[in-house]
C-alpha cells in the first residue's frame, strides 16, 4: 500500500489541502461514493422485454448480472410507454426475485393436510396418466342422436390471459386434439 497516497486520501488531509476547506463536498466523498457505479452499467447484458401486468404493454429493460436479474426498468425506446412504468411494472424485479416466490414443485395427496415435494418429471408423468384415464372415462363419441362429438368432458382448464400467445396456442392445440373442450381464460371473467 502506498502510505503516502493513503494518507493523502484521508478526508481531513483532502479538506485541508483541497478546494473544500469546510469538508462538505469533494473532501469528504468516500471511496465508495467515488467508485459508485449503477447496476445498469455493471450488468453483463440488457434484454428487452414487456411488462407482464396489464395490457398496455410497456417496454421493459431487464439487466442481468451473473445470470441473475438485477434491475428491471422502463424502456425509453417504447413508443407506447416511453420508458415509464406504473408501480406494478416498477415492482417487476421483485416479482422475479421475491424470496416469497414459489420455485418448488409441490404435491398434495388426497385428504392430506400438507404439501410434499416431488420432482417435476414425476409430477408431469402422473398428470399424463391422469389425463389419459380421465379422458377415456369421460369420453363421448356421439350425442343422443348419434351425431359425432368426439370429445371428453373429464378435463377442464382456466387461464391464458397472462401467458404468451405461443403457450396459448400449444394449450389449445393439445387440448383440442385430446377432445377436451372446457378450455377458458380471463377473457370471460
Partner 1 sequence: MGASFGRGGATGFLQDLEKADCIVIQGSNMAECHPVGFQWVMEAKARGARVIHIDPRFSRTSAQADTYIPIRAGSDIVFLGAVINYILSNDKYFHEYVVAYTNAATLVSEDFKDVDELDGVFSGYDPETGTYDTSSWAYDGVSDHPQGDAGGQGAESEESASERAAGHELGGHGAALEHAEVKRDETLQHPRTVFQVLKRHYARYTPEMVQEVCGIAPEQLLDVCEAVTANSGRERTTCWVYSVGWTHHTTGVQGIRGSAIIQLLLGNMGRPGGGIMALRGHASIQGSTDIPTLFNLLPGYLPMPKVGPHDSLDEYLKEIASPDQKGFWTNARTYTVNLLKAWWGDAATAENDFAFHYIPKLTGDHGTYATVMSMLDDEIDGYFLLGQNPAVGSAHGRMQRLGMAHLKWLVVRDLNLIESATFWKDGPEIETGELRTEDIDTEVFFFPAASHVEKDGTFTQTQRMLQWHHKAVEPPGDAQSDLAFFYLLGQKIRDRLAGSTDERDRPILDLTWDYPVDEHGDPSAEAVLREINGVHLTGEKAGQALNTFNEMKDDGSTAGGCWIYTGVFADGVNQAARRKPGREQNWVAPEWGWAWPLNRRILYNRAAADPDGKPWSERKAYVWWDEVEQKWVGHDVPDFEVAKPPSYRPPEGASGPAALSGDDPFIMQADGKGWLYAPTGLLDGPMPAHYEPHESPVTNPLYNQQANPTRQVFPRPDNPSNPSNGERGAEIFPYVFTTYRLTEHHTAGGMSRWLPYLSELQPEFFCEVSPELARERGLVHNGWATIVTARTAIEARVMVTDRVVPLPVGGKLIHQVGLPYHWGVGNEALVTGDSANDLFGVTLDANVHIQESKVASCDVQPGRRPRGPELLEFVADYRRRAGITLETGNKLRYPHSDATTGADTDGQGEGTP
Partner 2 sequence: MSTQAFGSSGIDQAFGSSGLDQAFGSSDPNGPARDAGWEDSPPRVGFFTDTSICIGCKACEVACKEWNGNPDDGFDLLGSSFDNTGQLSGSTWRHVAFIEQRRPAGTAAGVFLGMPESPARPPVELGMPSLSRPGDSGDTDGRTEFRWLMSSDVCKHCTNAACLDVCPTGALFRTEFGTVVVQDDICNGCGYCVPACPYGVIDRRIGEQGTKNVGLAQKCTLCYDRLKVGQTPACAQACPTQSIQFGTLDELRERAVDRVQTLHDAGVSEARLYGEDPAGGTGGSGAFFLLLDEPEVYGLPPDPVATTADLPRMWKHAGLAAAGFLAAAVTAFAGRRR
The reply on whether position 91 binds partner 2 by CB under 8 A is yes
Residues in 25-64 at the binding interface with partner 2, rule: CB under 8 A? 25-33, 36-38, 40-41
> Residue 19 and residue 89: Cα distance in Å, rounded?
44
Q: Would you state the torsion angle of the CA atoms of residues 35, 36, 41, 42, taken in this order, to the nearest 10 degrees?
A: 70
Q: 18 is in the binding site of which of partner 2, partner 1, none (Cβ under 5 to 8 A by kind)? A: partner 2
> Residue 131 and residue 116: Cα distance in Å, rounded?
21
> Residue 13 and residue 31: Cα distance in Å, rounded?
14
Is residue 131 within 8 A of residue 139, CB to CB? The reply is no
The reply on whether position 23 binds partner 2 by CB under 8 A is yes
C-beta of 21 vs 119, nearer to partner 1 = 119
C-beta of 29 vs 124, nearer to partner 2 = 29
Among 51, 59, 63, 73, binds partner 2 (CB under 8 A): 73
C-beta of 40 vs 124, nearer to partner 1 = 124
4: its cell numbers: 503516502
Q: 131 is in the binding site of which of partner 1, partner 2, none (Cβ under 5 to 8 A by kind)? A: partner 1
- Using alpha carbons only, give the angle 111, 117, 137 rounded to the nearest 5 degrees: 55
The reply on whether position 84 binds partner 2 by CB under 8 A is yes
> Residue 104 and residue 120: Cα distance in Å, rounded?
9
Among 46, 49, 71, 151, binds partner 2 (CB under 8 A): 71
Contact set with partner 2 (CB under 8 A): 11, 15-16, 18-33, 36-38, 40-41, 71-74, 76, 83-91, 93-94
Amino acid at each position: 500500500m502506498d502510505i503516502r497516497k493513503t494518507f493523502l486520501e484521508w478526508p481531513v488531509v483532502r479538506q485541508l489541502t483541497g478546494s473544500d476547506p469546510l469538508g462538505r463536498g469533494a473532501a469528504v466523498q468516500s471511496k465508495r461514493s467515488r467508485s459508485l457505479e449503477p447496476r445498469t452499467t455493471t450488468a453483463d447484458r440488457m434484454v428487452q422485454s414487456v411488462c407482464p401486468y396489464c395490457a398496455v404493454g410497456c417496454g421493459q429493460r431487464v439487466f442481468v448480472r451473473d445470470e441473475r436479474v438485477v434491475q428491471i426498468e422502463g424502456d425509453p425506446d417504447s413508443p407506447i410507454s416511453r420508458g415509464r412504468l406504473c408501480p406494478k411494472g416498477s415492482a417487476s424485479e421483485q416479482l422475479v426475485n421475491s424470496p416469497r416466490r414459489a420455485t418448488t414443485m409441490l404435491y398434495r395427496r388426497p385428504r392430506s393436510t400438507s404439501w410434499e415435494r416431488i420432482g417435476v418429471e414425476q409430477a408431469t408423468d402422473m398428470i399424463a396418466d391422469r389425463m389419459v384415464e380421465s379422458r377415456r372415462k369421460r369420453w363421448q363419441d356421439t350425442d343422443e342422436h348419434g351425431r359425432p362429438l368426439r370429445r371428453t368432458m373429464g378435463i377442464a382448464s382456466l387461464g391464458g390471459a397472462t401467458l404468451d400467445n405461443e403457450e396459448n396456442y400449444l394449450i389449445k392445440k393439445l387440448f383440442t386434439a385430446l377432445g377436451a373442450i372446457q378450455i377458458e381464460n380471463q377473457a370471460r371473467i
